[in-house]
Structure 1
Amino acid sequence: MEADITAVHIADSLINAQPIINNRNIVVYVKPGTLNLQEFALDFDLTAGATSVPAAGSVQDFSVPVTYEVTSEDGQYKKQYTVTLLESSVPENFDFELFGQDEKRQWVYFYEEVAGIPQNLWASGNSGFALTAGSNPTNATYPTQVTDLQQYVTSGKHAAYLETKSTGFLGALVKKPIAAGNLFIGSMFTKSIVDIQTRFGLPFNKVPVSLTGYYLYAPGSKVIDKDGNTVNVQDECDIYAVLFDRVALMEATAKDEEYPNRTWLDDKDVLTSPHIIALAQLKDAGPTTGTGMQKFELPFVFKREYKQADVDAYRYSIAIVLSSSKHGAIFQGAVGSKLVVDQLKINVK
């Protein structure tokens, strides 16, 4: 935390979701037509004593991503942030062909092109796992990876490859002995090995009918719980998508002390929130048969009535969640469980 953008300040009346700050990328979902993207002054906070070029609050052309270079107070550290103001919503097709690698810690991250602009819509637990990955990690060290093995690829040249990993001595010490391979629409907020948050969901302005794709799942041999004890069950994967009323969630959390006006779901309420509009989830989450990828189609089951006017106004958000261990959020799973996913699609009305 020597050369970081720590917070972004923009009026709630201009945005569809709270600004997303990742390691080197910031995305702000703005309401279409509410501001002039070609001439906008974005205000943000920096690590104490740090400076940025361009400066915070200076007018920039955000019709394309703007790069800010942040320099620490002592001048020893520099970090570049790509900041994008986006008027579009989450896309409907995902083929996992677009990915990059963290410069320092070597983990893989996936991104999508939205309105011709690369966007880090996907997040994973790789950044948190990096705290236990050792001094010389490789791509294969991490739970969330990419594969080009043709038996796993149904479209293009790559697929998402998720594997439950051991977090070693340090992870076991804090009762987090495993890390499921996971990938989700949203962002990951990591303070430390004991304070890692998943923030599910980004704006979506369509009515989903089903989630389709291809997958392969092979569970590991021994499931353990957070205390490292063996649990006599077979590991399962998880594939689901959630459409929720982001505005209703903001209103319900307006007075929360820790996260007021929350625009995302978390591990505790992503499947149970009263603000969920519709849910699509894989029912049979055990091992797939044969050696090849299997097609799935998950219908969205509507729990509440939606309003087309709210859809058009970007009131709703959607999250897609993939995990190699269904109960990975409570650190229960089998080391070696593998989930491969390709050619995801949100089918809409």
Structure 2
Amino acid sequence: MTYTVTAEDGTVKVYTAFVEGTRKVLKYSFEDWKEGTKNDELLPKDLWAGSAAGAGILGGTLLRKETREDGTYAAKLITFEYPNEPSLVPKITAGSIFIGKFDMLPALQGDRLSCTKFGLDADTVSLGGKPLRFKGVYKYESGSNYLDASNYEDVKPVDIKDKGQIQAVLYKVQTGEDGKEIVLTGHDVNTSELRVAVANIIVEDIKEYTPFNIEFEYLQEYDRTAKYKFAIICSSSKDGDLFKGAGGSTLIVDEFEVICE
């Protein structure tokens, strides 16, 4: 059973009750941080990565620790519009956090989308079984100047509202031709045939913390004997992987839960 409780001060919290032993819940409350000057670092660093690891070195603020009214913390992601286009980072860079790793080397070789290595082994993140639901809270404010920077030499303003994205992805562990495990990147995390299940929500402007509680959509049958990788991916601009978005778009997320069978 899911209960949504609204406190007198307007704070919304969602609780799930279940018979002990029938469900496993993976929780992320974003309480552990290393504070920085331009960007904060979400801990543990061997679990969480994000765009701030690369773009932040060139002066952009993309990730901050957000203090809530009750004194707990949330993750604040910010899309950054660079005043000029640097050599390594496009004019629009979406703030992001994700379970996985960020590798700057592909950017040096002109392949920015391969910097994001999404997902860690399900056992490593203690997933605990077949994912059923993905829950949490968020609020969102879109920036005012949406830009299409997919063509680095011809950045264009577009008359649309920016939106954010929160998603979870479960995919099969498979070995590539080079003998290494395949890790999904910005190129294929939304298209790969290795994906087994996804839970995805596109978010729009909302000033107050708003709960979400969505089911995983299964693209293929779950095999309890197979090995999987699991990722949670959040972006302050849903088309940030295409280098589109509005500077200042801000997504704040907290209290993630993955409920497993």
TM-score normalised to structure 2 length = 0.79
Q: Is residue 298 of structure 1 aligned with residue 221 of structure 2?
A: no
Task: Please state whether the residue corresponding to 2:135 is helix, strand or coil.
Answer: strand
User: Which of residues 273, 289, 292 in structure 1 aligns to 2:192?
Assistant: 273
Question: 1:326-345 maps to which residues of 2 (within 5 A)?
Answer: 326-345=238-257
Could you tell me which residue of structure 2 aligns to residue 121 of structure 1?
47
In structure 1, give the amino acid aligned to 2:116.
Answer: T
Task: Please state whether the residue corresponding to 2:75 is helix, strand or coil.
Answer: strand
* CA distance in structure 2 between the aligned counterparts of 1:174 and 1:199, rounded to whole angstroms: 18
Q: Is residue 96 of structure 1 aligned with residue 15 of structure 2?
A: no
Could you tell me which residue of structure 1 aligns to residue 18 of structure 2?
none
In structure 2, give the amino acid aligned to 1:166.
Answer: E
Q: Is residue 219 of structure 1 aligned with residue 133 of structure 2?
A: no
Deviation at 1:131, TM superposition (A): 3.4
Summarize deviations over 1:13-46 as a string: whole Å, max 9, x none.
xxxxxxxxxxxxxxxxxxxxxxxxxxxxxxxxxx
In structure 2, give the amino acid aligned to 1:108.
Answer: D
Asked whether the 8 Å contact 1:132–1:168 carries over to 2, the reply is no
Unaligned runs of 5+ in 1: 1-90, 113-118, 134-140
Deviation at 1:195, TM superposition (A): 4.7
In structure 1, give the amino acid aligned to 2:258.
Answer: I
Task: Please state whether the residue corresponding to 1:293 is helix, strand or coil.
Answer: strand
Question: 1:192-271 maps to which residues of 2 (within 5 A)?
Answer: 192=107, 194-196=110-112, 197-205=115-123, 206-226=129-149, 227-246=154-173, 248=174, 250=175, 253-255=176-178, 261-271=180-190
Task: Please state whether the residue corresponding to 1:130 is helix, strand or coil.
Answer: helix
User: Which of residues 153, 176, 198 in structure 1 aligns to 2:90?
Assistant: 176
* CA distance in structure 1 between the aligned counterparts of 2:190 and 2:213, rounded to whole angstroms: 19
Deviation at 1:149, TM superposition (A): 3.8
Count of residues in Structure 1 that have an aligned counterpart in Structure 2: 224
Deviation at 1:106, TM superposition (A): 5.5
Asked whether the 8 Å contact 1:132–1:167 carries over to 2, the reply is no
* CA distance in structure 2 between the aligned counterparts of 1:254 and 1:167, rounded to whole angstroms: 38
Cα root mean square deviation, aligned: 2.1
Q: Is residue 323 of structure 1 aligned with residue 238 of structure 2?
A: no
* CA distance in structure 2 between the aligned counterparts of 1:330 and 1:174, rounded to whole angstroms: 15
Asked whether the 8 Å contact 2:131–2:260 carries over to 1, the reply is yes
* CA distance in structure 2 between the aligned counterparts of 1:143 and 1:235, rounded to whole angstroms: 16
Summarize deviations over 1:254-291 as a string: whole Å, max 9, x none.
24xxxx52331001110111011101000x43222xx3
In structure 2, give the amino acid aligned to 1:224.
Answer: L
Summarize deviations over 1:195-231 as a string: whole Å, max 9, x none.
5410000011421001100000111112101132101
Could you tell me which residue of structure 2 aligns to residue 108 of structure 1?
40
Deviation at 1:100, TM superposition (A): 1.2
TM-score normalised to structure 1 length = 0.60
User: Which of residues 104, 125, 135 in structure 2 aligns to 1:190?
Assistant: 104
Asked whether the 8 Å contact 1:164–1:325 carries over to 2, the reply is yes
* CA distance in structure 2 between the aligned counterparts of 1:332 and 1:174, rounded to whole angstroms: 16
Could you tell me which residue of structure 1 aligns to residue 76 of structure 2?
161
